[in-house]
Amino acid sequence: MTYRERATAVPDAVLWERAVPAGASRILPDGCLDLLWDGRRLSVAGPDTRARWHEDPAPARYVALRFSGGTGPALLGVPAHELRDRTPLLEDLWPAAAARRLADRVAEDPVGALERWAGERVVDSPADPLGGRVLALARAGVPVAGMAARLGLGVRQLHRRSLDLFGYGPRHLTRVLRLGRALEQVRQGAPLARVAADSGYADQAHLARDVRGLTGTTVTALLRGSAG
């Protein structure tokens, strides 16, 4: 499997390309939303609450935009919670003619067309600035009540707006982002006890429980790519 990514001119939008062999792969939650081209059709990978398995019956190449901070829902015109744990075709979310026009553009030049579309779309449909602020606080591990106070919102209001921006509330977003930080350190060879302390877990057992809860397997299984 080969993978590469790079930033785009659109804030909180990354362009990535991946070639994968036939078979199943585990997709981990990351608090993001992706617009995917698989060589034939455009689809939208909504925010996952937990890890899921994706099956490619044959070798495939994907070109996609990954959106964070609420940018994806703004550009696509669909609240994130409507896409949670789903991967619908774009034609099921947009008017058929609009989805077909974009698909035709992307078929001719996947990388360039996706970038141009995002750049054009963000002018007319800018992201809610709250998304970036919530994302920064969640990355910092700020408790939900603290987030709400800093943002000048009630806890319930923050939760409702986070559903539109991220697909789930700020508490789950914080948990997903913490998992991502922890797994990155583990992949770099850091001891689990240190990873737990650095990532904001109470202890190594807390880290293990959270990994199991969000991925359905263990840290060791994730590192070796097994089903767990």
pLDDT tens figures, 28-55: 999 999 999 999 999 999 999 999 999 9
Sign of CA dihedral 135, 138, 144, 145: negative
- Residue 129 CB coordination number (10 Å): 10
The pLDDT score that the predictor gives to residue 224 is 80
Q: What is the mean pLDDT of residues 118-127?
A: 96
Helices 170-187 and 155-166: angle between axes, nearest 10 degrees: 60
Q: What are phi and psi of 96, to 5 degrees?
A: -55, -40
The average confidence (pLDDT) of the chain is 95
In the CATH hierarchy, which top-level class contains the domain 131-224? mainly alpha
- Whether the predicted pLDDT of 56 surpasses 60: yes
The residue among 222 and 82 whose pLDDT is bigger is 82
The pLDDT score that the predictor gives to residue 177 is 97
Q: What is the mean pLDDT of residues 96-105?
A: 98
User: CA of 157: how far to CAs of 66, 69, 148, 149, 164, in Å?
Assistant: 26, 17, 8, 11, 11
Q: What is the mean pLDDT of residues 139-161?
A: 97
pLDDT band with cut points at 50, 70 and 90 for residue 2 = confident
Q: Side chain identity at 140, as an amino acid letter?
A: A
The residues that bridge with 66 in the sheet, in sequence order, are 14, 34
Residue with tokens 């009630």: 154
- Whether the predicted pLDDT of 1 surpasses 80: no
pLDDT band with cut points at 50, 70 and 90 for residue 223 = confident
Q: What is the mean pLDDT of residues 74-95?
A: 98
With pLDDT > 90 as the criterion, what percentage of the chain qualifies? Answer: 94
The pLDDT score that the predictor gives to residue 228 is 41
User: Is-above-0.85 flag for pTM?
Assistant: yes
Domain edges within the chain: 2-124, 131-224
The contacts of residue 95 (CB under 8 Å, 6+ apart) are: none
